[in-house]
Amino acid sequence: MQRDLGRRRVVLSRGAVLVLAAVGAATAPTPHLATAQQQPTIRQYQLRPEGGALRLVIAEVPRPTAGPGEVLVRVRATSLNRRDLSILQSGYGGGSRDGLVPLSDGAGEVVAIGPGVTRFRVGDRVAGTFFARWVDGRRSAEVNATARGGSIDGMLSEMIVSHEDGLVHIPEHLTFEEAATLPCAAVTAWNGLFTYGGLEPGDYVLLEGTGGVSVFGLQLAAAAGARPIITSSSDEKLARARELGAFGTVNYRTDPEWQREVRALSGGEGVQHVLEVGGQDTLGKALQALGYQGHIAMIGALSGPAGAMPTGSFVGLGTRVTGVYVGSRADFEAMNAFLGEHRIRPVVDAVFPFEEAAAAYELMEREEHLGKIVIRL
């Protein structure tokens, strides 16, 4: 499903005002995207602090070049995650830098490679990894410092340069717009269910709401033969979730004690997996829906931090809890193989043109989407 979205007012609540303002040479006619790779300059969005708020502006900057070990990528599509909205609204804890290029997620094609590059050739279709330098193994403080669109520049740019370690080949069956949705939400759901959760066919899985992470969780769990149970504030979205393979659905707005229904849907035994994205509104209830040897992947806090976790039942139930922060390139590649094997296509709710990036943020803030929101370049 793709919505036809016209130009919107580009004002967000909570003081994060978006202004599509050209800076520097951007007041001159901008190059057509199709010819961008021949131009000496490219366009990109940057976050600029102004009057106590962060503003999203289009800047024109010199065309980047690939150095040793680096790859020049013509970005064709990017996608939003909740983190991107948080960064715009609050600086994500105040850490974002003046001029930061937003958005962790994007996909495109290789247009040049620097000396020594061995993993990619010109013309390859690629996506950036969420952490520009986490190939495999344990995460570290050094890895954390390479989170795209937060610690370092992100993907909302006509071209980016990345070390070849920070790119993956995208599955052949996906468009750029579909592949652009994978780096953060999909890898997070994959790791929560498989890498840390050890999901098995027949397992019951609780997914909270129908945002990016949860809908990927639904698709991955269904493809693996598990039984995903998903909640939403919208019956319309739940109907769509059933089409996508949901075993059970519960409206958490009309049924505030939704965890009881989730437990009933699992035959009374409780679920084996939770992708916990809701925070204070959901964690306690998710624990009540959890069965023996259940795994909770701690991922997000859409309703605010959950606070203390009631751990009293953990020993008796054998509960496992893992904090998940996206994943490595190896995780991304393992997930891509699964997506290819099962021909899974990400659910793209809406696609916006580059010039209307602000409207994409606005849609996410309204929470009208199901799955992912994409910006085409």
Give φ, ψ of 161 to 5 degrees: -110, 135
Count the site residues for ligand NAP by CB under 6 A: 32
Q: Are the CB atoms for 160 and 114 separated by under 8 Å? A: no
146 touches ligand NAP by CB under 6 A = no
176 touches ligand NAP by CB under 6 A = no
Smallest CA-to-CA distance from 349 within 151, 112, 80, 40 is with: 80
Three-class DSSP category at 326 = coil
- Interface residue with ligand NAP, options 147, 160, 184, 186 (CB under 6 A): 184
- Interface residue with ligand NAP, options 91, 102, 209, 270 (CB under 6 A): 209
Write down the least CB distance from residue 254 to ligand NAP, Å.
11
Nearer to ligand NAP, 109 or 331 (CB): 331
Nearer to ligand NAP, 160 or 187 (CB): 187
162 touches ligand NAP by CB under 6 A = no
- Interface residue with ligand NAP, options 204, 300, 336, 361 (CB under 6 A): 300
Q: Which stretch binds ligand NAP (CB under 6 A): 45-53, 99-107, 142-150, 202-210?
A: 202-210
Site for ligand NAP in 77-96 (CB under 6 A): 81-83
Q: Exposure pattern of 176-189 as b/e (b: 16+ CB <10 Å)?
A: bbbbbbbbbbbbbb
Question: How does DSSP classify residue 158?
Answer: S
- Interface residue with ligand NAP, options 89, 90, 175, 234 (CB under 6 A): 234
Q: How far apart are CA 227 and CA 186, in angstroms?
A: 18
252 touches ligand NAP by CB under 6 A = yes
- Interface residue with ligand NAP, options 2, 140, 233, 313 (CB under 6 A): 233
Write down the least CB distance from residue 169 to ligand NAP, Å.
22
Q: Using CB atoms, what's the residue nearest to ligand NAP?
A: 211
- Interface residue with ligand NAP, options 41, 181, 219, 232 (CB under 6 A): 232
Site for ligand NAP in 307-346 (CB under 6 A): 324-326
Smallest CA-to-CA distance from 106 within 59, 63, 168 is with: 168
Helices (H), 139-296: 141-144, 176-179, 187-190, 212-223, 235-243, 258-265, 283-288
Nearer to ligand NAP, 110 or 326 (CB): 326
Contacts of 127 (CB under 8 A, 6+ apart): 105, 106, 107, 167, 168, 170, 179, 180, 182, 183, 332
Write down the least CB distance from residue 306 to ligand NAP, Å.
11
Burial of 325 (0-12, 13-18, 19+ CB in 10 A): middle
Contacts of 276 (CB under 8 A, 6+ apart): 208, 282, 283, 286, 296, 297, 298, 299, 300, 306
Q: By the criterion CB under 6 A, which residues form the site for ligand NAP?
A: 81-83, 184-185, 188, 208-213, 231-234, 237, 252, 277-278, 281-282, 299-303, 324-326, 364, 367
